[in-house]
Structure 1
Amino acid sequence: MDKIRISKVDDVNIIRRGITLQGTLHLTPHHLIFSHIPASPTEDASGIPQKIRPKELWITYPMIASCTYRPAPTASHQQPSIRLRCRDFVFVAFHFLDERPARDAYETIRSLTCKLGRIEKLYAFSYRPQSPEKHVNGWDVYDPVKEWQRMGVTEEAPGAGWRISHINTDYQYSPTYPALLPVPATISDNVLNYAGKYRSRVRIPVLTYLHPINNCTITRSSQPLVGVRGNRSIQDEKLVAAIFASSKPRILSTQSSQTEFDSSPEPSQVEAGNASLENSMTDTEALEDEVLWRASAGSGSSEHRTYGAQQHNLIVDARPTVNAYAMQAVGLGSENMDHYPFAAKAYLGIDNIHVMRDSLNKVMDALKDSDLTPLPPNREQLARSGWLKHITSMLEGAALIARQIALQHSHVLIHCSDGWDRTSQLSSLSQLCLDPYYRTLEGFIVLVEKDWLSFGHMFRHRSGFLNSEKWFVIENERLGGVGSAGSGSGLNPSGGGNAFENALLSAKGFFNKDNASRDSLAESDGEMTPFDVSPSSRKRNATAKEGAQGDREVTKVKETSPVFHQFLDATYQLLYQYPTRFEFNERFLRRLLYHLYSCQYGTFLYNNEKDRVEAKVKERTRSVWDYFLARKAQFINENYDPLIDDREKGHERLLLPRVNEVRWWNEVFGRTDAEMNGPTFNSVRSSPGVLTGVETSETSLGAGVPDIGAPSMRSSNRVASLGSGLSGLTLSGKGRGPRGSRSPGPPRPEMEVEMQ
């Protein structure tokens, strides 16, 4: 291995939480291993000394979030050191006796971390499991056909008005979508072909969850290509209408409405609706709009209303309103509700990947000295990070969606920009609230496979498995100068000022604060696309950049973001609030986050189903679920009561997050509960709400629910007001009758490292 300058260094001191130990540092092709002998031998029950076994700290290279090398100052007695900050929030410092082995160790770590060049060189492709993993096959846990059958959708006999389309079997229709797409049975593949031209990356609205009690659905998509000209697609409108009519009672169905969904559009209509859209594809996500549908026997009729006849369907756009409107300038945007009169839309105001990366960066700042000192983190810094506010926003959105499905018996379509970050968070969290199956160990695995892996969350881009040289810093060197080995992206090229402070600031590359990212946005969820650069120019620039780099893959720092981490954190909140409703325990979530970055398994290494198939991941690597299924007893919640949700009535299956009880997941940050959630902990109860607007075909943004945008109203009140306000909206079938009055309703009650 030419990348390994040195494989073993003796007499190295490690400092962790202010405790210093002496041992040996081993640098292997895939792990950094520090081993030391305990100071005193242990004794068994009879008092006989036991054989002393070395203790080991294993760190896989992709786990490194930043690495700072500090040479020994000239004519001083200080030792050279390497400080590591890891993505599982392990903070350690290594101190060496001599400069040469310290420098060689740093260069070796840097080379093995960020000079691999290709995903196939990661540990997963050489890992060979031992018992008990050897006899487990986690790749077989998720079968999409079986999961759709569990919900009542089958290929042979479409159930509940749904069928499985094979239009994407070869991944040519939508490369980032799964091969099998559940769509309304009344919609043909021909309609899908035209509708796909109106959604970013051809990520059309498709089914992800069918409620077994009322046949209401969660569907997901990307944003529409509305643009400044107000483009529309008759086929997209027809698809969304068919989704929202899929659970309509038969007694209210008419031959005319059935014919409307079956009919194909005229070619002239298609060309007019999509002519300006073909070259408008960019990478941002679409918002999910809250949709309102009132299916009634007739306007003003006094006829008895059947179950499900009055629905308040919702399109949920996860983005802030201003972001969604700004996207129209680059050919994107959000649904014009004049063309979706059967629906209402809500903007949730959840920030983009750049804001989330910056938030976690601030959390890291509050914990950054965890190697040198045992002192607790700075509580004010933690509060200023906004991390809990973001987790609360996600849970509020999930609660809104779950209420619409379970209590309002309505349908919900979710989207953000491209529909693979915030959409995955909201979709999976709302299903956790709705379906007890997903709260079992097997069900949670199926949920992650379905809503994250199959629906194309960009794990490779968001997680930065190949690391970046920007995260490696040498202090006291001109980081931007020629010949500075291991140079990163220093914030102070002149090298002036406090070198130690500058180096720490430079090491923040993984959690970059720049919201106006101008990295290649072809794979980004950040909405701040530069308006002065056309999509065709961006494509040419990206192609030229890729050609210059050859086959070497690199991490785009500004596309990294803790999206999946946030989902696990929000799941932890539900588990903490409902400790008897989940079969798995907190440790399961923590170890899953660890193995997201360990790159020991092939599950999370690629961005979508197509990439995994082409890379033959199932044949060449092991599934991460092997690890958990082989050790299932370690991850079972001893408080789990499976009988609580074993009821026939739907409302007894539902759980809703108590957003005023959101807390720090202290275990994942390697801290005690008292350190992060102690008596002086500032909760997020006074944080401003995230809901930024409600829109229907009859009312403009923000006019639907009184005081919905008032800064003083708590976010939980605002989301509850939306839920109650939607039930007051009325929309007639074809025409638009007067809208009923609405008023806001009352708020609803509502460090561990292991050898692998």
Structure 2
Amino acid sequence: MEPFIHCRVSLEINNGQMESLNASDVKLFAVKVTGTLCVTSHHLLFSDRKDEASWQLLILLKNIDAIEKSVENLFGYPRAVGSSGTITIKCKDLLVLQLEIPGMEECLNIASSIEALSSLESVTEMYPFFYRPSHLTLSGLWGLSSMEQYYKQTERLWDRWRVSTVNSDYSVCPSYPSAVIVPREVDDDKLICSARFRQGGRFPVLSYCHHRNGMVIMRSSQPLTGANKKRCKEDELLLQAVIDGSELGYIIDLRSAQQAQQAWMTGGGVESKSCYSHWKRIHRHHEKGKVVQESLIKLVEACSDPSHSVDRWLSKLENSKWLSHVHSALSTAGLVVECVERDCHSVLVHGSEGTDNTLLMSSLAQLILDPTSRTVTGFLCLLEREWIQAGHPFQQRCAHSAYSHARLKQECPSFLLLLDCVWQVWRQFPLALEFSEALLLRLAQEVYASNYGTFLCNSEQERCAAGVKENTHCLFQSLLRPDIEEQYLNPLYEPTDLAIWPSVHPQSLQLWTGLFLRWTEYAQNMEEAREEVWSIVKEHREQAGHDRTNNMLSTHCDTLTPFENLMDELTIL
């Protein structure tokens, strides 16, 4: 429902960093509220100030995606004396507000102030560097996981793999972390040569080792073979060291064969069959960059207009092609899983740069394969290794959401696409993930505007230079506080060691209403439904515990019986 809030305001302007607006006739879902709107260095705050239980709205200015100004009276309220203007504030989390301000000049001044404060470019001027909650301290470890920790926890790696610090000063690959996992028999000099042969220096590194058969998922960027079809023996040796001489590995190239051939003309290319004889290449075309960003814009546009007829709504949803991107991602992730789990082959995944779709496929494959990645802690560790430490350029990709009129070349909602894919898995396997949709929604909001430093900058090197770890708090550590984590737990969770295989049939994929329709009355109804689910689950668990005590039931099948009955009751979802 657009807009979410209508305001008619009278104005007082103070010198300095704060502007105060006395608002009246504020309507929230047809409820009128009187209050004050304040704009500070980092926040926009509205409060009705009626009593201690007053209604408040606090928005981080970084969350503002676009501001539109108009001198027309859009609400039909009686005009104040003199001219008036309207500011429409469109947020990155898809919330939309409208403020009617008497006085065109004042309206423009307020809009300009909000625009300037919401588009800070210096990382150290952003709010995470000023956020100091009483329950958190800056001392201690920052983050949850690292490649060194993953190596120590994965015993299967110890014989044939090692942790290399060849990139400790980020000179070999600016977008890689300081430590990576590579084959033990490949020394650092060979890694340096391989990095020179890969775009952006992203040489093949280990992403995941399967706990069942020891097969691995590697990731990298494209090789720089060029029109002359150059080769790099060190790069060939690196990939050969991943597999035994009699084995076959798969290279999942996230470009069409035609795109890969065209890359030769600009210095890129593919791994040739003659030089990588033990690796079979498979092409799976995936859109990136501007195409995916435009898809998101069209989807949000379709979701923002409740006046559509059914036919027009379905047509605009299809034309956005967002679910096609979801389908492609889950389909290719399933291919990676099939190679590793069923066929017992190791896999190298790459596209061109190796910072978007490559990370999307490697992380989705791990979610499907690895039961640890389906827990709250494991999932956050996965995001930290595969997206934050692996060099996804968050600051470039998430500069704007779907409303901004600025179209920056490097914007792309790759991380949002990942969260949507994870939501599809959660919806198809309601017992398989320890976390609920609420965690995915929280991450979708935090990646665009956050109190925490987790998603700042484009790489570990940039975060070190800006002092992010020393001067900001870690979102993931905050989410794992017991009182916070409970909000994101899935009450239906039943762990399994087996791989889960999400369906990619068109009928199986749905619009993520919890995100794209989150500010509608429908979303409120779903929240009430989730609360009802919690109460039903608690009741069944109490009954199940009582039955086990009385009847000495101990088999796994018996413990699942209450959940079988429970699923029949949850038709509301």
Q: What is the TM-score normalised by the length of structure 1?
A: 0.62
Contact between 1:316 and 1:346, CA under 8 Å: does it hold in 2? yes
Contact between 2:252 and 2:349, CA under 8 Å: does it hold in 1? yes
Which residue does the alignment assign to 1:70?
70
Q: Does 1:569 align with 2:420?
A: yes
Which residue does the alignment assign to 1:141?
144
Q: Secondary structure at the match of 1:330?
A: coil
Q: Cα offset for 1:624?
A: 0.9
Q: Counting helix residues as a fraction of each chain, which structure ranks higher?
A: 2
Contact between 1:221 and 1:414, CA under 8 Å: does it hold in 2? yes
Contact between 2:143 and 2:476, CA under 8 Å: does it hold in 1? no
User: What is the CA deviation profile of residues 107-143 of structure 1, one whole-angstrom value per residue up to 9, with x for unaligned ones?
Assistant: 11011112x3411100000001133x45996724213
Q: Secondary structure at the match of 1:654?
A: coil
Which residue does the alignment assign to 1:415?
350
CA RMSD of aligned residues (A): 2.9
| Distance of 1:113 and 1:367 partners within structure 2 | 24
| Distance of 1:560 and 1:19 partners within structure 2 | 37
Which residue does the alignment assign to 1:655?
500
Question: Which stretches in structure 1 are left out of the alignment for 5+ residues?
Answer: 39-50, 246-256, 258-294, 296-310, 472-506, 513-556, 646-652, 677-756
Which residue does the alignment assign to 2:405?
509
Q: How does 1:342-741 map to 2 (within 5 A)?
A: 342-369=278-305, 378-464=313-399, 508-510=404-406, 512=407, 557-630=408-481, 631-642=484-495, 644-645=496-497, 653-660=498-505, 661-671=508-518
Q: 1:33 aligns with which of 45, 64, 80?
A: 45
| Distance of 2:376 and 2:239 partners within structure 1 | 33
Which residue does the alignment assign to 2:265?
329
Taking only the aligned residue pairs, the percentage that are identical comes to 29
Q: Cα offset for 1:508?
A: 4.6
Q: Cα offset for 1:626?
A: 3.6
Residue identity in the other structure for 2:301: D
Question: Which stretches in structure 2 are left out of the alignment for 5+ residues?
Answer: 1-12, 524-573
Residue identity in the other structure for 1:453: I
Residue identity in the other structure for 1:460: Q
| Distance of 2:130 and 2:63 partners within structure 1 | 17
Q: Cα offset for 1:20?
A: 5.8
Taking a change above 3 Å as real, the CA distance of residues 214 and 99 of structure 1, as seen in their structure-2 partners, is same
Q: Counting strand residues as a fraction of each chain, which structure ranks higher?
A: 2
| Distance of 1:589 and 1:138 partners within structure 2 | 24
| Distance of 2:33 and 2:111 partners within structure 1 | 20
Contact between 1:6 and 1:105, CA under 8 Å: does it hold in 2? no
Q: Secondary structure at the match of 1:667?
A: helix
Q: Cα offset for 1:168?
A: 1.1
Residue identity in the other structure for 1:404: C
User: What is the CA deviation profile of residues 80-105 of structure 1, one whole-angstrom value per residue up to 9, with x for unaligned ones?
Assistant: 21112211111221222333432222
User: What is the CA deviation profile of residues 590-614 of structure 1, one whole-angstrom value per residue up to 9, with x for unaligned ones?
Assistant: 0111111223111111111111122
Contact between 2:22 and 2:35, CA under 8 Å: does it hold in 1? yes
Q: Cα offset for 1:667?
A: 0.8
Taking a change above 3 Å as real, the CA distance of residues 170 and 121 of structure 1, as seen in their structure-2 partners, is same
Residue identity in the other structure for 1:31: H
Q: 1:128 aligns with which of 127, 132, 136?
A: 132
Q: Secondary structure at the match of 2:448?
A: helix
| Distance of 2:521 and 2:283 partners within structure 1 | 36
Q: Cα offset for 1:202?
A: 1.3
User: What is the CA deviation profile of residues 736-756 of structure 1, one whole-angstrom value per residue up to 9, with x for unaligned ones?
Assistant: xxxxxxxxxxxxxxxxxxxxx
| Distance of 1:215 and 1:453 partners within structure 2 | 25
Contact between 1:66 and 1:84, CA under 8 Å: does it hold in 2? yes
Q: What is the TM-score normalised by the length of structure 2?
A: 0.81
Contact between 2:36 and 2:49, CA under 8 Å: does it hold in 1? no
Q: Identify the structure with bigger relative contact order (alpha carbons < 8 Å, sequence gap 6+).
A: 1
| Distance of 2:164 and 2:185 partners within structure 1 | 12
Higher alpha-carbon deviation: 117-126 or 235-244:
235-244
| Distance of 1:88 and 1:608 partners within structure 2 | 24
Q: Secondary structure at the match of 2:291?
A: helix
Contact between 1:666 and 1:672, CA under 8 Å: does it hold in 2? no
User: What is the CA deviation profile of residues 465-505 of structure 1, one whole-angstrom value per residue up to 9, with x for unaligned ones?
Assistant: 7x9xxx9xxxxxxxxxxxxxxxxxxxxxxxxxxxxxxxxxx
Which residue does the alignment assign to 1:190?
189
User: What is the CA deviation profile of residues 34-86 of structure 1, one whole-angstrom value per residue up to 9, with x for unaligned ones?
Assistant: 22368xxxxxxxxxxxx66211122211211211011248xx95842111221
Taking a change above 3 Å as real, the CA distance of residues 22 and 102 of structure 1, as seen in their structure-2 partners, is farther
| Distance of 2:97 and 2:219 partners within structure 1 | 42
Q: Secondary structure at the match of 1:419?
A: coil
Taking a change above 3 Å as real, the CA distance of residues 4 and 625 of structure 1, as seen in their structure-2 partners, is farther
Residue identity in the other structure for 1:613: C
Q: Cα offset for 1:27?
A: 0.6
| Distance of 1:443 and 1:145 partners within structure 2 | 15
